[in-house]
Amino acid sequence: MRTIDDFTRPLEYLTPLDRYLGEIGRRWADTEVIPVRRDFDEDWEHHNLIEPCFRSLQGEIGFQRMLFPEDLGGWGLGHSGYMGAGAARLFEEVARADSGMAVAFGVLFWPLVMICVEPHVNRRLCEQFAPMFMQERPVFAANAMTEPQGGADIENMEIVGGSTIQTTAVLEGDEWVINGHKLWPTNSGGVADLFGVVCTTNPGSKDPNDLAFIFVPADTPGCTQGGPYEKAGMAADKNSDIWFDNVRVPSWYRACGPGLDAMYFKEVISLGNLGSISFVSGSLMNVFEILKDFAEETTFRGKPLKENDDAAGVLADFARDVDIIRVLTYQYARMLDRPDLYGDRWSDEIVAKGRAYKYFACDKAVEDLKRVMNLMGAHGSDRAHDVEKHWRDLKIVQLWMGGKQLCQMEVARWFYECETL
C-alpha cells in the first residue's frame, strides 16, 4: 500500500536524527492536531485549542530548545552539519498537520539563527536568552521585520539595501533606543516572548553597516503588541502590529554588529525559503492522503475514481509535483548544510536559488490544489475534507517574503546578472 513515505527524499542527505524527528512529529500530528484542526479557524484569536498543541510540541517534547548549545540545555543543532535537513523533516511533519502551526513553530527559530548558528554564534546572547526557552510552556520568538509603509522592501537587500527601514536604533551610552512600528510579524499579536528587530542606525542609508538586528524581550517597557488579525487561513499563526516607543535594551543585544547583521540577515532569508518549501511539501503530503482515500472510495462509471484515465491524469500530475517538491526541499536543505560545497548560506546565489524553489513550490501547490478540488467536486471545497484549508494556507505561503515578484527579481538578478531590477 502506497503512503506518503513513498515520496522521494535523497537518503544520502538525511540527518542521523531523521527517523526520530519523523516518528515524533508524525505521532504528535496524528494524535494531537489532525483530530481537532478543523476547528482552528474559529480559534484564531484565543488559541484555546491551538496552544495545548504547541505546549506539547515545543515545551514537553522540547523542540523549542533545538538550536541552543548543549551546555545551555539545548540540542546543539546550531553547530551541527544537518540543521537544514533536520528542520525540513520536522517542518514537513508539522505542516502535514497544520501549516499555520508549522509557520509559528518555524519562525520561533528565525531570529535565533542570528545568534545560535555557526559560524556566527553570539555566546553571550545565547546565555542570556537560552533560559527563556528551557521550560515546558511554549515560548515564541518573532522576526520583527515588515513595516506598514514598505512591506517586504526590507528583504530586498540587493537593491533597497535597508534604505526604507523606518524603525530606528540610536545608541545612547551603553543602550540602544528603538522607535518604530512593525506590521504582520509571525508570532506577534501577544504571542512572542522575544523579538529580533530589524532597525536602521541611519535612516535612508543603504550602507550595510547601518542595518542593525537587535533583540528586544517582549516585556521591555515601551514595547507594545496589538491584537491578532483574522486572516483567510493560518489561524495558528498570529500576526499583528508591534510598536517600539523609546524602547531601551543593552548595546550588546545587537546580534552580530555593523555589516555582519546585514550579511547574516540574508541567511535568515535563505532559511525562510527552506521553511516555506517544507511547509508546502508537508501540506501536499496530507492532501495526497486525503485524495488517495477519496479516489479509492468514490466510484465513477462503475469503478473507483482512480481507475478512470481522465481522473488518473490529474492524480498523476499531483503525485509528480509532490515528489519533485519533496526532492527540492531536501536538495536545498543539503545546500544549506554544506557551505563547503555550495557556498555560504547568505550568498546571493543561495538566496536566489532558494527564492526560485520557493516560488516554484508555491505556484505548483496552489495550481494543483485547484485541480484536486475540482476533481473532488463539492467535496473539494467542503471543510470536512480539509483540502480547502490547505489551499487557503498555501495561498498565504505564496504571498509572504515578498511574494512571487521579489522571488522572480532575485532569481533574474543572479542568473541573468541584471543591473537595474
Measured distance CA(341)–CA(307) in Å, rounded: 45
Return residue ranges of the chain for CATH 1.20.140.10: 261-416
Helix (H, G, I), strand (E, B) or coil at 26: helix
Average pLDDT over residues 259-272: 97
Q: In terms of CATH, what superfamily is 4-138?
A: Acyl-CoA dehydrogenase/oxidase, N-terminal domain (1.10.540.10)
Kindly report the average pLDDT of the chain as a whole number. 96
Q: Locate 56 and state its grid cell.
A: 506539547
Q: Which residue has the cell 540545555?
A: 73
Average pLDDT over residues 140-162: 87
One-letter amino acid at 84 equals G
For the cut 90, the answer to whether the pLDDT of residue 152 exceeds it is no
261-416 is classed CATH 1.20.140.10? yes
For the cut 90, the answer to whether the pLDDT of residue 135 exceeds it is yes
CATH (residue range 142-258): 2.40.110.10
- pLDDT tens, 349-375? 999 999 999 999 999 999 999 999 999
pLDDT band at 125 (very low <50, low <70, confident <90, very high): very high
Helix (H) or strand (E) holding 127: helix 123-133
Tell me, what's the pLDDT at 161? Answer: 85
**175-186/239-250 β-pairing:** antiparallel
pLDDT band at 154 (very low <50, low <70, confident <90, very high): confident
Return residue ranges of the chain for CATH 2.40.110.10: 142-258
Measured distance CA(324)–CA(264) in Å, rounded: 29
Tell me, what's the pLDDT at 220? Answer: 98
From residue 381, give the alpha-carbon distance in Å to each of 313, 315, 391: 21, 17, 10
Q: Locate 162 and state its grid cell.
A: 535597508
For the cut 90, the answer to whether the pLDDT of residue 158 exceeds it is no
Phi–psi pair at 66, nearest 5 degrees: -55, -45
Contact 253, 177 (CB under 8 A): no
Tell me, what's the pLDDT at 394? Answer: 96
Average pLDDT over residues 129-143: 97
DSSP-assigned letter for residue 140? -
For the cut 80, the answer to whether the pLDDT of residue 55 exceeds it is yes
Average pLDDT over residues 143-171: 88
Tell me, what's the pLDDT at 307? Answer: 96
Average pLDDT over residues 337-357: 97
Q: Which of 327, 310, 313, 318 is nearest to 291 (CA)?
A: 318
pTM over 0.85: yes
pLDDT band at 151 (very low <50, low <70, confident <90, very high): confident
pLDDT band at 19 (very low <50, low <70, confident <90, very high): very high
Contact 92, 278 (CB under 8 A): yes
DSSP 215-273: EEETTSTTEEE-PPPP-SS-TTS-EEEEEEEEEEEEGGGBSS-TTHHHHHHHHHHHHHH
For the cut 80, the answer to whether the pLDDT of residue 150 exceeds it is no
Which residues lie closer than 8 Å to 5 by C-beta, 6 or more apart? none
